[in-house]
Amino acid sequence: MLYIDESFIKDRVVQLRTQKGVSARDMSLSIGQNKNYINRIENGTTLPSLNGLILICEYFGITLKEFFDVENKSPNTLNKLIEKVKPLGEEAMNSIITLIDEVKKSK
């Protein structure tokens, strides 16, 4: 069983917000909250309610499952990749898998 502590939530919000390139203030206002709402979450002063967490996920265009997926560092990018790959044939998908394996080897 995977244990996620309170710091995961604040760190994940920082990570996703930074990837999106938006300020904490702008994000707070965009989801209809007080201008300091996201700052308080990121500073560990407060945790979002379930409703607040849903608003945050909607803002990022991800599901709660994707938010809590610790292995998925860039859920929006992964979703874009999946959408691009879906219509491809098996041969093209296998070529992409081979490319990914080569990239992983070189790291």
What is the DSSP annotation of 3-32? ---HHHHHHHHHHHHHHHT--HHHHHHHTT
d(CA 104, CA 33): 41
Q: Which pLDDT does position 86 carry in this prediction?
A: 93
For residue 12, give both structure tokens.
């994940």
Q: Which pLDDT does position 38 carry in this prediction?
A: 98
Q: Which pLDDT does position 92 carry in this prediction?
A: 93
Residues contacting residue 93 through CB under 8 Å, at least 6 positions apart = 85
Does position 106 have pLDDT exceeding 90, yes or no? no
Give the three-state DSSP class for 65. Answer: helix
Residues contacting residue 57 through CB under 8 Å, at least 6 positions apart = 63, 64, 66, 67
When pLDDT is cut at 50, 70 and 90, the band that residue 3 belongs to is: low
